[in-house]
Amino acid sequence: MTISVSSSTSDDNVTKNTAKNATTKQPKIVVKRYGIMRLLYTCKHTFNGLKWMCRNEAAFQQELMLFIPLTVFACMANISAPQSAMLVLALLFVLFAELVNTAVEVVVDRIGLEFHELSGLAKDIASAFVFLSMLMAAIVWWVVLWA
């Protein structure tokens, strides 16, 4: 397929495309923020991370679906406020562990998708962290409610 374009139009398009590509491929400048603006941007990034986890991470979605009703139960149960807080904190720790696990997986995948023994080990250790957090939560719930 042959396209005929006058040289001046072609040169103009090349110049425009080159300028456009040069501006889009430049690295982003990191702006250091202070005070209230730092707090606002921190909240924005936190919300973006949680939103991404809720939309894309099945394990986090499942744990969140357990967290919500169990938190309601912990708050409505006939137990003391410190005991309710312990139950909710145990559940939050599971969500925290899942966030860390996903962060490790994302960083390992960012480095490369090909198999590497150390990459697999990092993911396995992060997964073990989630498992231990679930075990800890189960123990806390058992001790508070039935021991």
Q: Which residues are identified as catalytic? A: 98
CA distance 4 to 9: 10
From residue 1, how far is each of 4, 14, 31, 63, 126 by CA, in Å? 10, 20, 47, 56, 53
What's the pLDDT at 21?
52
Type of residue found at 127: S
What's the pLDDT at 128?
98
Strand, helix or coil at 73? helix
What's the pLDDT at 6?
45
Let me know: does 94 contact 67? Beta carbons within 8 Å.
Answer: yes
pLDDT tens track for 51-63: 999 999 999 999 9
| pTM flag (> 0.85) | no
Residue 138 C-beta-side C-alpha neighbours within 13 Å? 6
What's the pLDDT at 20?
54
Low-confidence residues in the chain, pLDDT < 50: 1-11, 13-15, 18
Encoded tokens for 40: 């606002």
Type of residue found at 85: A
Q: What is the DSSP-derived secondary structure letter of residue 30?
A: P
